[in-house]
Chain A
Amino acid sequence: MGAFQRDILLIAATVAAACALPGVFLVLRRMAMISDAISHAILFGIALAFLVVQSVHSPLLILGAALTGVLTVALSEWLRNTRLIKQDAAIGLAFPLLFSIGVILLNRYASNVHIDIDVVLLGELAFAPFNRLIIGGVNVAPLSLAVMGGILLLNVFFIGTFYKELKLSTFDPALAAALGFAPVALHYALMALVSITAVGAFDAVGAILVVALMIAPPATAYLLTDRLPRMILLSVGVGILSAVCGFYFALWLDASISGAMALAAGFFFLLAFLLAPDKGMLAALVRNARNRWAFAETMLAIHLLQHEGQPEEAAESRVDHLYKHFRWGERFARRVVVRAERHGVLQLSEGRLRLESRGRVLAQRQLGLTPADPKARDH
């Protein structure tokens, strides 16, 4: 692997890790689409700052752009608070306007300089290693690697410092407020973090990939674990994996690197969506199918318990009653009965079902009755 490829991979992996960190909290707070809004809206800030300083690599650019991101969030929240429009519409109104103005400004006044609109939007990772950070005449590292490395450290520092507060305000904002954790301030701090990350990543990988790297890896991790620390680590891991796989995929196809990375991130999410143990679609389907039998068995036990010793017991405990009142198919009903009999829940004799002691306990436990309690009587 050449130094050039190594640089690209390093940049991509750093971007992926930096994006995944705040992304975890966006996903958990149900604010995933904010990443889309911010990553588009910062173009306005970039364009404005560029017109002022006439340079693509000024720190002012990052600052201006990050401010625009926070501004977008504030703007859409203000719009929502007027109660004139719903929240989703408020987000959907604020960022296209800022983005449009940014595009127009860049098209009109900056199209002959370094900022090319396609590059801003889609990123051009392949060119990223060409801009070097040079300190004292020594070629240290690619500039975007230095910038993203700094942002990654900032994210790690922020989440490390405010971990407890972030966790609490994510899962129980009311309690966080009551404990004096200032959830609003934390919210805007997180938005600022997302904005800064988006601006840094934007230059290297473009606006849309920022969304892919911020949301898809945390969503993948969300399907794999229930614990927040593990979810954070997994998100970073999946993000880096997506970046590396995407890079080689793009190399193989000779296609857009950032596009391929988004595809890779999507692919890993798809895998988790289908196959994740316990939380994936397949697991859910298998569980549903399996539970269906156990559930039917319990249902039958409860039915028999409810009518035990009642005048209508004779009618209610007939197997053919199940087809009519339970609306079960004949085959399904027969198989449920056979299973229940095998499990010692009930006994079948002469077309009538009788509850066995195990079935009685099962039904009583489901209904929250202790065996000593008198059974519920209907009339």
Chain B
Amino acid sequence: MVELLHNLLFDYTLRTVALGAAVLGVSSGILGAFAVLRGQSLLGDALSHAALPGVALTFLWGGTKDPLFLAMGAAISGWLGILWIQSVTRYTRVKFDTALAIVLSVFFGGGMVVLTFIQRLPTASKAGLDQFLFGQAAGMIMSDVAVMATLGGAAVALVLILWKEFKLLCFDASFGRSIGLPMVRLDLLLTTLLVVAIVIGLKTVGVILMSALIVAPGAAARQWTDRLGVMVALSAGFAVVAGVIGAALSSTAARLPTGPMIVVCLSTIVLVSLFLAPRRGIAWRWLRAQHAGRRLRMERVFADLYELSRQHEDPMHAHDLATLHAMQAHPAGVLDNLRKLEEQGWAHEVEPQRWALTDRGLEHTHELERGNRVANLGKET
């Protein structure tokens, strides 16, 4: 662990990889958060697959691995993918999901065909399949990171500049149009920025798993907050943490591809968020339901005791446990609940098997009645 940390700081390769993963995390985390909110999670999947033929063709024709050049190729084919999806859903009855699946698989198939040509190239710099498919962070150099940072920085800057416009686009686009904002163009811009974020990640994560980097950080971040700004920041943070850890782990051992490692880290964050996030989390909900159930059962016993005391001249009169048992559908927990009431100071065991309200308990019943009246009043006005 300490060694890994040391390497992160001082080992050139690892530092480059981690830096690249961090840059990628910021851009995909931020744009992914918007994509998740817009219900475009699967679009990210289709577009990342659609980028493959672009990368492969630029490499084949240009014969270069210049990252900016490859990125442009990827962006162009991703864009063509969007164009195809949009025109198919617009002019025919084929639905969005079908259009996505076709673009995803057909573009990827085209990429595969081109890759077989690349594999036959005699050049020493030929790119392995794995690198395009699963990413190979270890091969990253500083100029890659520079290109990624420039593209990502530009994309993130645009999001920040157009923050309120994009927020309105995601929440209520038709209201945005009614006040005169060009929502169609903003939509196109935000989708284009998503393509940029995907392109940035291809080198590190690869086309197949890039979609996870779009979906997962946003989905995890959403659980922790109800503010868009916080969500986007958290999303970027999660993606950076998962990216750096995943990339670092994959570089420590042989045959641990970077993309899958990052995805496993990200998914862990998602699972933790789904279960443990305060208020929304599954564990949290479960606990709350349990607590509410317990409280309800205790109050039912209390209500029974109060009911009995009202029927008696002396409200503090003690009643048989057996009577209380008889009043409940599930008598098993009655005694436990009475003990809890005793802890609260609302009831006490006057003599063995006989229970009565305390002064404080009686006071509480008055409070409850007042509360009921106020609640009813609230419904009226």
Direct contact of A and B (CB under 8 A): yes
Q: Is B80 an interface residue (CB 8 A)?
A: no
Which residue of chain B lies nearest to A97 when distances are taken between CB atoms in the complex?
B267
A-B interface contact total, Cβ < 8 Å: 210
A30 and B95 in contact, given A212-B109, A259-B116 (Cβ under 8 angstroms): yes
**B106 touching A284 by the CB < 8 A rule?**
no
Name A259's contact: one of B109, B209, B212, B255 (CB within 8 Å): B109
Complex-state Cα separation, A266 to B108, whole angstroms: 11
Which residue of chain A lies nearest to B93 when distances are taken between CB atoms in the complex?
A279
A266 and B109 in contact, given A99-B209, A100-B263, A103-B260 (Cβ under 8 angstroms): yes
Residues from 187 to 241 in A contacting B, C-beta threshold 8 Å: 208-209, 211-212, 214-216, 219, 222-223
Q: Is A297 an interface residue (CB 8 A)?
A: no
> From residue A138, how far is it (CB to closest CB) to chain B in Å?
35
B interface residues (Cβ-Cβ under 8 A, vs A)? 36, 39-42, 44-45, 49, 87-88, 91-95, 97-102, 104-117, 129-130, 133-134, 208-209, 211-212, 214-216, 218-219, 222-223, 255-257, 259-261, 263-264, 267, 270, 274, 280, 282
Complex-state Cα separation, A351 to B179, whole angstroms: 40
Secondary structure dominating the interface of B: helix
Q: Can you sample 19 A-B contacts with CB below 8 Å?
A: A36-B105, A84-B223, A84-B274, A89-B41, A89-B215, A96-B211, A100-B264, A104-B257, A104-B260, A104-B264, A208-B112, A256-B109, A256-B115, A259-B108, A259-B113, A263-B113, A266-B105, A266-B109, A279-B93
A262 and B109 in contact, given A93-B212, A103-B134, A255-B117 (Cβ under 8 angstroms): yes
Name A27's contact: one of B88, B98, B105 (CB within 8 Å): B98
**B45 touching A92 by the CB < 8 A rule?**
yes
Q: Which residues of A contact B211 (CB under 8 A)?
A: 92, 96
Name B106's contact: one of A36, A93, A108, A266 (CB within 8 Å): A266
Among A121, A215, A280, the one with the most B-chain Cβ atoms within 10 Å of its Cβ is A215
**A33 touching B97 by the CB < 8 A rule?**
yes
Q: Mark A71-102, 1 if CB is under 8 A from B, else 0.
A: 00000000100101110110111001101110
**B97 touching A31 by the CB < 8 A rule?**
yes
Which residue of chain A lies nearest to B268 when distances are taken between CB atoms in the complex?
A97
Q: Mark A39-58, 1 if CB is under 8 A from B, else 0.
A: 01000000000000000000
Name A86's contact: one of B36, B49, B91 (CB within 8 Å): B36
A96 and B102 in contact, given A86-B36, A259-B110 (Cβ under 8 angstroms): no
Q: Which residues of A contact B267 (CB under 8 A)?
A: 93, 96-97, 100
**B264 touching A97 by the CB < 8 A rule?**
yes
Which residue of chain A lies nearest to B90 when distances are taken between CB atoms in the complex?
A281
Complex-state Cα separation, A164 to B44, whole angstroms: 36
**A121 touching B208 by the CB < 8 A rule?**
yes
Name A211's contact: one of B95, B105, B115 (CB within 8 Å): B105
Q: Which residues of A contact B94 (CB under 8 A)?
A: 219, 222-223, 273
**B41 touching A92 by the CB < 8 A rule?**
yes
Complex-state Cα separation, A212 to B103, whole angstroms: 9
A interface residues (Cβ-Cβ under 8 A, vs B)? 27, 30-33, 35-36, 40, 79, 82, 84-86, 88-89, 91-93, 96-97, 99-101, 103-104, 107-108, 111, 117-118, 121-122, 208-209, 211-212, 214-216, 219, 222-223, 250, 253-256, 258-263, 265-266, 269, 273, 276, 279-281, 284-285
**B116 touching A281 by the CB < 8 A rule?**
no
**B41 touching A91 by the CB < 8 A rule?**
yes
**A88 touching B42 by the CB < 8 A rule?**
yes
Complex-state Cα separation, A263 to B40, whole angstroms: 25
Which residue of chain A lies nearest to B206 when distances are taken between CB atoms in the complex?
A103
Complex-state Cα separation, A40 to B212, whole angstroms: 13
**A30 touching B208 by the CB < 8 A rule?**
no
A281 and B91 in contact, given A33-B45, A93-B267, A100-B264 (Cβ under 8 angstroms): yes
**A223 touching B92 by the CB < 8 A rule?**
yes
> From residue B276, how far is it (CB to closest CB) to chain A in Å?
12
**B98 touching A256 by the CB < 8 A rule?**
no
Complex-state Cα separation, A258 to B214, whole angstroms: 27
**A40 touching B208 by the CB < 8 A rule?**
yes
**B102 touching A216 by the CB < 8 A rule?**
yes
Q: Which residues of B contact A32 (CB under 8 A)?
A: 95, 97-98, 100-102
Using A208-B104, A259-B110 as known contacts, list a sample of 13 further A-B pairs with CB atoms less than 8 Å apart, ordered by residue number in A.
Answer: A33-B42, A85-B36, A88-B42, A92-B215, A96-B267, A100-B261, A103-B134, A209-B105, A212-B109, A215-B102, A255-B112, A263-B106, A281-B91
**A260 touching B113 by the CB < 8 A rule?**
yes
Name A103's contact: one of B92, B257, B270 (CB within 8 Å): B257
Minimum-distance CB pairs A-B, first 9: A262-B109, A259-B112, A266-B106, A100-B260, A212-B105, A96-B212, A92-B215, A281-B91, A211-B105
**B130 touching A118 by the CB < 8 A rule?**
yes
Complex-state Cα separation, A96 to B257, whole angstroms: 14
**B41 touching A100 by the CB < 8 A rule?**
no
Q: Which residues of B contact A79 (CB under 8 A)?
A: 274
Name B212's contact: one of A92, A108, A256, A266 (CB within 8 Å): A92
> From residue B170, how far is it (CB to closest CB) to chain A in Å?
13
Q: Which residues of B contact A40 (CB under 8 A)?
A: 208
**A269 touching B106 by the CB < 8 A rule?**
yes
> From residue A95, how far is it (CB to closest CB) to chain B in Å?
9
**B109 touching A208 by the CB < 8 A rule?**
yes
Q: Which residues of A contact B219 (CB under 8 A)?
A: 85, 89, 93
**B112 touching A256 by the CB < 8 A rule?**
yes
**A262 touching B93 by the CB < 8 A rule?**
no
A262 and B256 in contact, given A30-B95, A88-B41 (Cβ under 8 angstroms): no
Complex-state Cα separation, A209 to B106, whole angstroms: 8
